[in-house]
Amino acid sequence: MREARLRRIVVAVAGLAVVVGGSVVFAVTRSPKPAAHPATTTTSTSTSTTSAPSARCPLTDLPAPHGVPNRPALAVKVGNEPEGARPQSGLNEADVVYDTPAEGFVMRYIAVFQCEGASMIGPTRSLRWVDWHIMAEYGHPILAFAGGINPDVDTVMALGWLHPANLLEGAQAAAVRTSDRLPPDNLYTSTSALYSMFRTATGAPRPVFTFSSARPRDATPAKSIEIYFSYGTDVLWKWDATSRSWLHTYAGTPDVDALTGRPVTAANVVVEVVHYTYGPYVESPGSTGDVESETVGSGTGYVLRDGVAVKVTWHRPAPSDPTTYTDSAGHLVALTPGRTWVEIVPFGTKIALTP
């Protein structure tokens, strides 16, 4: 009932439109803590490539002209508050970006890098429960964040399968404060600074998505999809036939990557409708506990690629398993090679798909 009341308040404030293309969500049980991962073997300080120049990047399936870097996935927590955090830097250089709800259903990002690098990423913000639960499927990743509540930080620091980088304590050498923004939205980092702190962490991650250039069977034309998270953080993705990519927009205005000045785009937009609970600890004064999105189990959603959309069921049996997507007939739905944005959408959120 508490969740329903909050969603009604958010809907009233945002003045939401009528739902188009709504879907039923399967109930899922509360996800356990990520399963234990095998111990990481890190004996080399090399960042050389692991394969020939014809290899493909594991997280995007794009060609790696100089070979796949011999390094793990690197995740950075990036703020997205309407005041102060935008525009962000480094989103267009990420292989994968997760859009995740925090308290009050204000969204924050997890930007994941591996093949490419970014000289400026941020603004970096504090850790949330969902971060390490999502990253459990990446093997032995690096996770960079700017502090957080003690229970979350203590948990992450104790995980044997993950390399934590707290930019406020212990990893300050990888952080920089800019003079053009106010704290806390002026803390940034880079892939080179973070990877240099974990030189003995080697080995590229396995692919977490299935890719194919073939159009999915159940695909239908799609011009856009809008997700009504909350006032100020509603998301609109619009298909741009000229660039053959999805454009990320807020309030009808294209989002821009401050690092390059280019529109924020994605080759794939994946929507996962999830159940959630409130965590026991209040993250911000006067707010609810953290929104703990359940990304293990199954539920409904969409895959958007190449100007088409497919209604899917997502599956993730265990924390260390990759998430897969199937159509109404149970066939695997593959993504097109390129950058993927995953929208983690709380159950009950309104979604409008425009054909």
Distances (CA, A) of 317 to 29, 130, 131, 135: 11, 16, 18, 15
User: How many residues appear in the chain?
Assistant: 355
Q: What is the pLDDT of residues 95-128, one digit of tens each?
A: 999 999 988 888 999 999 999 999 999 999 999 9
Q: CA-CA distance, 61 to 339, in Å (whole number)? A: 9
Q: How confident is the model at residue 235 (pLDDT cuts 50, 70, 90)?
A: very high
Name the token pair of 52: 């020939």
- The per-residue DSSP string of 202-213 comes to --PPPPSS-B-S
Confidence of residue 296 (pLDDT cuts 50, 70, 90): very high
Token pair of 71 as six digits: 């390094």
Is 65's pLDDT higher than 60? yes
CATH of 2-31+209-354 among 3.30.1540.20, 3.50.90.10, 3.40.50.10420, 1.20.58.390: 3.50.90.10
Instruction: Provide mean pLDDT across the span 133-149.
Output: 97
CA distance 155 to 131: 12
The three-point CA angle 133-334-48 to 5° equals 65
Q: What distance in Å separates the CA atoms of residue 15 and residue 11, rounded to the nearest whole number?
A: 6
For 1-37, how does the pLDDT look when each residue is reduced to its tens digit (9 = 90+)? 333 333 333 333 333 333 333 333 333 333 334 444 5
Is residue 230 very low, low, confident or very high in pLDDT (cuts 50, 70, 90)?
A: confident
3-state SS, residue 113: strand
pLDDT tier at 231, thresholds 50, 70, 90: confident
Between β-strands 74-78 and 142-145, what pairing exists: parallel, antiparallel or unpaired?
parallel
Domain locations in the chain as residue ranges: 2-31+209-354, 74-197
pLDDT bucket at 241, cuts 50 / 70 / 90 = very high
Q: What is the pTM of this model?
A: 0.85
Q: pLDDT tens-digit profile of 161-198? A: 999 999 999 999 999 999 999 999 999 999 999 999 99
Joined tokens for residue 6: 């909050």
- Between 298 and 43, name the one with better pLDDT: 298
Alpha-carbon span 336 to 239, nearest angstrom? 14
H-run or E-run covering 351: strand 350-354
Query: Between β-strands 245-250 and 265-266, what pairing exists: parallel, antiparallel or unpaired?
Result: antiparallel
What is the DSSP track for 221-248? Answer: E-SEEEEE-STTT-EEEEEETTTTEEEE
Instruction: Let me know if the fold of 2-31+209-354 is the same as that of 74-197.
Output: yes
Cα–Cα nearest to 138, from 80, 88, 75: 75
Q: How many CA atoms lie within 13 A of 305 on its CB side?
A: 26
Residue bearing tokens 């991650």: 205
**Mean pLDDT of the chain, nearest integer:** 86
Q: How far apart are CA 189 and CA 174, in angstroms?
A: 6
CATH no. for 74-197: 3.50.90.10
Q: How crowded is the C-beta side of 145, counted as CA atoms within 13 Å?
A: 25
Residues above pLDDT 70, as percent of the chain = 84
pLDDT at 39: 37
Q: Is 50 helix (H, G, I), strand (E, B) or coil?
A: coil
